[in-house]
Structure 1
Amino acid sequence: MEKLLSISIATYNSAIVINECLDSIVKSKYIELIEVLVIDDGSKDNTRDIVQTYVKKYPKSVFLVKKDNGGYGSTVNISMQMATGKYFKTVEGDDWVNTKGLDKLIERLNKLDVDIIVNNYEEIVNDKKKYVDINNRNQYNKILNFNEINKKQVFRIQSMTIKLDIIKLIKYKISEHRFYVDSEYVFFSMIYAKNIIFLNDIVYQYRLGQDGQSVSIDNISIHFKDLMYIIEKLLGIYCEVEDNIQDKSKKIYLIKNINILYRDLYHWFMIMKKIDNYKVLKDFDIRMNRLYSNHIKKMNFGYYRFIRINHYIFLKLFRYIRNFRKILSIKG
């Protein structure tokens, strides 16, 4: 039977949580229409043994790929090449899906022919769920082109299901051995997509607050240069494809995605425990202005723009203000 949806699951030492992830998928009443590609990124625990039990029980739906450690990007690169379903979705091994929401998604995919499907999702912190409305006032259940989408729209990998035909058009590899590469996946998909539909069913269950997550302050302090690398890479790719993109609205969204990453970078320098690397940020800004000045001018940095005037002074000032407000909130 042909598969309707390929789900890429990235695992690394996920033995404690991988059952929850896989159970949420194989319990779907449409499991025969789903291809589950579990890409194990060199786990040292018994993740592979656990996954193998699902392979034996669901041999036509669950597949295990063993590989040396290459980071999240390497798992997505492999699964994009292997996938055979009409649509493609990524799930991290320590997250899971809402099974009923997945069933509804499958039912919709069976009737749709659209490049990107966007669902709302939930964040889970210490077993408490937070509803994330990714829609941003766009019309539900209608296929839209980029010109019809709210200009404030932000796309997240957790919300996206993408037509495999679009995935196969991507000529760029997602960076390996780096953090924050989900932004590349979203960006690359948007280059080739022509239309989008927003659905209000919740599918993805995004677990936050875990030790070692890429968004933790400790990891941000260690891996902020990965984000710099990705910003520069995406700006370079945008310059390559810009002239071939006729849709002005799509150009707006592509630049906006890079803009958001750039603002995140400034925010990280404000919350990192040390600011000894402020010169690294200054040198990065100088290089981006030299290489991509016209595109940087189109970005909205908000009050972060003052940092670009004097990195050392304004980083210290903003950090002081932020810490002072935190103290006041604690006292309050």
Structure 2
Amino acid sequence: MKLLTVAIPCYNSAAYMSHAIETILTGGEDVEILIINDGSKDDTAKIADEYANKYPTIIRAIHQENGGHGEAVNAGLRNATGLYYKVVDSDDWVNEESLKEVLGVLHKMVESGTNLDLLVANYVYEKVGARRKKVMNYRSALPRNKVFGWADVKFFKTSQYILMHSVVYRTKLLRDCGLILPKHTFYVDNIFVYQPLPQVKTLYYLDTNFYRYFIGREDQSVNESVMISRIDQQIRVTKIMIDSKNVLQIKNRKLKNYMIKYLSIMMTVSSVLLIKSGTAENLEKKRELWRYLKEQNPRLYRKIRSNLLGQSMNLPGESGRKMSILGYKISRKIYGFN
């Protein structure tokens, strides 16, 4: 059995997937790399097979009909033999020294018999044209270099919400919580992080700049115009997160507050994109999304609606919508969403 499975979802990734693969290969035999070819039409399949033939004890190529990013993550989870599971997108990569640190911590957990559920590490925005690389760390929110529980967590800033880039989950925990991501849907990384959290009892924060998150392709899913064109998928993901758990029933106050804040951010991002599109149809979708939250969980609706982000997304009239966009822009600059 491997220590860490790294799944690399690939769709027409021939131009850049090798960089991701090469950085993860530095983990050696501790690592299993699953290259998930999600119905690519370029040379992705050929490159995946070449790597699998060259490194048969480390790399497996998995070919499937196109099912989208979520189904590629699902395929990785179904096939993983590692004790821990990490997703690295094909245009991103990991820092080799940090990978050694991550593997070192996981080895310690196994050797000591510690049932670690979630390892969190920093990620770096590798943004095209940016002079300074923005590092997302959790120093003010999480204890460093030790196993801890939710009771030991401090205050999360809005900029410190945990993304897929930050996490290494215990594989069995992901399977036990029934995690299955929807097909043909972008932004499912939010479900990947969010849904398993109530099952997480033990955490470890490694203060190292592990994941390198590339931002800059025009067709990238986090490009604002692309997000607006795919707004129905953003809404779908937000609704799945609302339905996945009644967060108000979570006993641990810190975990409950964190998950409420995460949902607030999802509602905010969805709302502002619907507002920015400027169409009557999308403004109605915004109202429908808030109605959905109210119908599914009235208490949670009141809690999210009453906080600053919720209030700013529901100001009436055209002037209110302009204020919502302005508030979002300021928040994005301060907190670094998408």
Query: Considering the TM-score relative to the shorter chain, is it more than 0.5?
Result: yes
Q: Residues 226-265 of structure 1: CA distance to partner in whole angstroms, max 9, x if unpaired?
A: 22222222212213x765x443332222222212211222
Task: Measure, in 1, the Cα distance between the counterparts of 2:258 and 2:168.
Answer: 18
SS at match of 1:264: helix
Task: Measure, in 2, the Cα distance between the counterparts of 1:47 and 1:303.
Answer: 41
Deviation at 1:306, TM superposition (A): 4.5
Task: Measure, in 1, the Cα distance between the counterparts of 2:226 and 2:270.
Answer: 13
The match for 2:336 is none
The match for 1:326 is none
Counterpart AA for 1:142: K
Task: Measure, in 2, the Cα distance between the counterparts of 1:93 and 1:295.
Answer: 36
Deviation at 1:117, TM superposition (A): 0.6
The match for 1:262 is 267
Matched, 1:109 2:106: yes
Q: Which moved more, 1:305-314 or 1:294-303?
A: 305-314
Gaps of 5+ in 1: 324-332
Task: Measure, in 1, the Cα distance between the counterparts of 2:202 and 2:325.
Answer: 41
The match for 2:122 is 120
The match for 2:258 is 253
Q: Which moved more, 1:146-155 or 1:212-221?
A: 146-155
Matched, 1:134 2:134: no
The root-mean-square deviation of aligned C-alpha atoms, in Å, is 2.3
The match for 2:94 is 97
* Pick aligned residue for 1:148 from 142, 148, 152: 152
The match for 1:187 is 194
The match for 1:328 is none
Q: Does the 8 A contact of 2:143 with 2:152 survive in 1?
A: no
Q: Residues 257-297 of structure 1: CA distance to partner in whole angstroms, max 9, x if unpaired?
A: 21221122233235x35343212211222232232211122
TM-score after normalising by structure 2: 0.87
The match for 1:293 is 298
* Pick aligned residue for 1:174 from 178, 181, 197: 181
Q: Residues 95-116 of structure 1: CA distance to partner in whole angstroms, max 9, x if unpaired?
A: 1111111111111110023111
SS at match of 2:195: helix
The match for 1:75 is 72
Task: Measure, in 2, the Cα distance between the counterparts of 1:24 and 1:163.
Answer: 21
Gaps of 5+ in 2: 330-338
Task: Measure, in 2, the Cα distance between the counterparts of 1:252 and 1:34.
Answer: 35
Q: Does the 8 A contact of 1:307 with 1:315 survive in 2?
A: yes
The match for 1:8 is 7
Task: Measure, in 1, the Cα distance between the counterparts of 2:256 and 2:326.
Answer: 36
The match for 1:41 is 38
Deviation at 1:209, TM superposition (A): 1.4
SS at match of 1:298: helix
* Pick aligned residue for 2:166 from 159, 166, 169: 159
Counterpart AA for 1:108: V
Deviation at 1:39, TM superposition (A): 0.8
Deviation at 1:312, TM superposition (A): 4.8
Q: Residues 87-142 of structure 1: CA distance to partner in whole angstroms, max 9, x if unpaired?
A: 11110011111111111111111002311111112111127533222343422112
Across the two proteins, how many residue pairs are aligned to each other? 318
Task: Measure, in 2, the Cα distance between the counterparts of 1:322 and 1:81.
Answer: 38
Matched, 1:302 2:304: no
Task: Measure, in 2, the Cα distance between the counterparts of 1:294 and 1:230.
Answer: 20
Q: Does the 8 A contact of 2:7 with 2:33 survive in 1?
A: yes
Matched, 1:220 2:227: yes
Counterpart AA for 2:152: E
Check 1:172–1:159 CA distance in 2 against 1; reply closer, same or farther (3 A cut): closer
Q: Does the 8 A contact of 1:117 with 1:160 survive in 2?
A: yes
Q: Does the 8 A contact of 2:122 with 2:138 survive in 1?
A: yes
TM-score after normalising by structure 1: 0.88
Check 1:4–1:319 CA distance in 2 against 1; reply closer, same or farther (3 A cut): closer
Equivalence map 1:52-91=2 (5 Å): 52-91=49-88
Q: Which moved more, 1:45-54 or 1:150-159?
A: 150-159
Check 1:225–1:104 CA distance in 2 against 1; reply closer, same or farther (3 A cut): same
SS at match of 1:45: coil
Task: Measure, in 2, the Cα distance between the counterparts of 1:202 and 1:158.
Answer: 11
Instruction: Determine what percentage of the aligned residue pairs are the same residue.
Output: 25
